[in-house]
Amino acid sequence: MDLMHTVILTVHIIAGLSVIGFVLLQHGKGADMGAAFGSGASGSLFGATGSANFLSRVTAALAVVFFLTSLALSYIATSRPTVSGSVMDSAPAAQTAPATPAQAPAAADSKAKDIPK
């Protein structure tokens, strides 16, 4: 299950960074006005409006991948079996503390007898 978690987390991070990159590559609505008056966008790789369709479709697909990996990661995180009880219940018997505390020898001139109990 740890390998699956690692793979999904890696895809999730790559998809998230890719969504950020593709959103930054897209032109805003104000850039369309400049393209209409010959700002050089018509001679680009995708044409005047071709890049908008391509980039928006890739961004939408990456957003779907990001959403699905988010759901998968949340499912993996909540579906792990939980162990009931405390940490002390699972400790070996040899390492448990003794039932009665050991008494330290008191020196004759110690002030241990002055401490109220």
- Asked, for residue 112, whether it belongs to a domain, the answer is no
- Asked, for residue 88, whether it belongs to a domain, the answer is no
Predicted confidence pLDDT, tens digits, the chain (117 residues): 689 999 999 999 999 999 999 999 887 766 655 555 655 555 555 555 556 688 889 999 999 999 999 999 999 989 877 666 676 766 666 555 556 655 655 555 566 667 776
The token duo for 104 is 């330290």
| Count of domains for the chain | 1
Check: CB of residue 57 under 8 Å from CB of residue 50.
no
Domain residues for the domain of 9 are 1-22+47-80
pTM of this structure: 0.54
Other Cβ atoms closer than 10 A to 22: 19
User: DSSP per residue over 3-63, as a string?
Assistant: HHHHHHHHHHHHHHHHHHHHHHHS--TTHHHHHHTTSSGGGSSS-TTHHHHHHHHHHHHHH
